[in-house]
Chains A and B, each alone.
Chain A
């Protein structure tokens, strides 16, 4: 199964829409609720990152009997130093974004903790590709 969603940069009111849809789909497929939670935590963080930092992005979710593979691709500023961005507490978010309770530098670490596999590729000035893979049975 394959699902696609679009994300608009700056549109905070829509952040979480894809995560919520994916949660419903995985529930219907009877995936373990604990695994669903890990998947949607990681995906929500990825969604918020696109909204907070990029101009636009898209999400593709491929689901088969054993895993979900989510790729989030955006057009945006990119990440100059991925290792630094992975550090808990490091953030480049604007003050407006921080006031909303985002931008605490916990997004990428949350993704790493909650996905079985996390891959990030980024080009400064072009955009970022995040791949999240989670297996339904550990």
Chain B
């Protein structure tokens, strides 16, 4: 599923790399706030749902070739994170919802 479609359907906020949304093909999502867990278990082109909003999140997302970072609970990324995400070409998205709700909504998009 295209990232642009997911952003539209779930009414997600886009903090960076809006121009890339159309070209990113998403395969699913992974919800975790532990970086090593994501390093070990997340799969390429998944959306990473998290509340962590520091630079290391991008290092992990980039090394694992993740599709996007989705910040929950209305968390806004800082400028440093946005700049880094533009360099790495990984979009940062946001939602007001908590992790459980947004994970459920994404689950429905992919599996129902």
- A residues sitting closer than 8 Å to B (CB atoms) are 12-13, 15-16, 19-20, 23, 37, 40-41, 44-45, 48, 100-102, 104, 106-107, 109-110, 113-114
Contacts and interface: CB of A to CB of B under 8 A. Distances in A.
Contact of B35 (A19, A23, A40, A101): A101
Contact of A102 (B35, B44, B64): B35
Given A101-B33, A104-B34, A41 B39 contact: yes
B108 interface: no
B63 A12 contact: no
Interface in B1-52: 33-37, 39-40, 44, 50, 52
Q: When A and B form their complex, which 8 residue pairs have the shortest distance between CB atoms, in order from nearest?
A: A16-B59, A106-B36, A101-B35, A104-B34, A101-B52, A110-B40, A40-B63, A13-B55
Contacts of B40: 41, 106, 109-110, 113-114
B37 A44 contact: no
A101 B63 contact: no
Contact of B63 (A16, A102, A104, A109): A16
B106 interface: no
B60 A12 contact: no
A102 B54 contact: no
Interface of B is mostly: helix
A19 B33 contact: no
A103 to B, nearest CB: 9
A44 B59 contact: yes
Contacts of A101: 33-35, 50, 52, 56-57
Interface residues of B, number: 21
14 contacts: A12-B54, A19-B63, A40-B63, A41-B64, A44-B63, A48-B36, A48-B56, A101-B50, A106-B34, A106-B36, A109-B40, A110-B40, A113-B40, A114-B40
B62 interface: yes
B37 A19 contact: no
Given A20-B63, A23-B63, A41-B63, A104 B56 contact: no
B34 to A, nearest CB: 5
A44 B60 CA distance: 8
Contact of A104 (B37, B55, B60): B37
A133 to B, nearest CB: 19
